[in-house]
Chain A
Amino acid sequence: DTEVTQTPKHLVMGMTNKKSLKCEQHMGHRAMYWYKQKAKKPPELMFVYSYEKLSINESVPSRFSPECPNSSLLNLHLHALQPEDSALYLCASSQGGQGTGELFFGEGSRLTVL
């Protein structure tokens, strides 16, 4: 199984809603990532988890709250978002340690904030 599964594929939410994006991998990878991608722009790193601990936060606003309950799961909790937060949110995983460094990406969750 070489897949990273993201749910939901599409999400529409209001600015006062609380929602979550979920990501799952069963490749035994110990590093997981959240990226944000606006239309016609490259993906931008948001968070990195290494061995279930947050290792990088790229100065992301607190209305985005990541969580890594175990080595296979990564969540992104969303609260009080703004319309400019509408984007494709990509999850990725990698082996970590002495692996090749290849990142495996999911298909993304497309978020629309009204």
Chain B
Amino acid sequence: DAKTTQPPSMDCAEGRAANLPCNHSTISGNEYVYWYRQIHSQGPQYIIHGLKNNETNEMASLIITEDRKSSTLILPHATLRDTAVYYCIVRVLRTSGSARQLTFGSGTQLTVLP
């Protein structure tokens, strides 16, 4: 799996959009970008994933640059409950086996301020 680089911490005002960047310059053509978050003392939670097109779901939007070397996770209206560590992970969607583990990097600690 390709390596990712994220800023260690970010702050965001409540109600504003939180934009979390991720660099993955060595990503290969069959690797997807996944985002998970971990609220303090809870298990990680899946947010969104994508290959090359922008993706949106009820939690967030994922913007992937045309060269796929970086991406941005957007939380459109951050709330205090969005305070968490956000992990950007790059990995293939399917392998010959059935188990596809996640390898977590250091992530970004997002703090939403009142």
Contact = CB atoms under 8 A, between A and B. Distances in A.
A51 B93 CA distance: 18
B54 interface: no
A94 B42 CA distance: 18
Interface of A: 4, 30-31, 33, 42-45, 48-51, 55-56, 88, 90, 92, 94, 96-98, 100-108, 110
Nearest to B38: A43
A75 to B, nearest CB: 17
A50 B98 contact: yes
For chain B, which range describes its interface: under 10, 10 to 19, 20 to 34, or 35 or more residues? 20 to 34
The B interface is mostly helix, strand or loop, or mixed, namely: loop
A104 B98 contact: no
Given A42-B107, A105-B43, A108-B43, A96 B98 contact: yes
A101 B92 CA distance: 9
A55 B36 CA distance: 24
A31 B78 CA distance: 33
A101 B43 contact: no
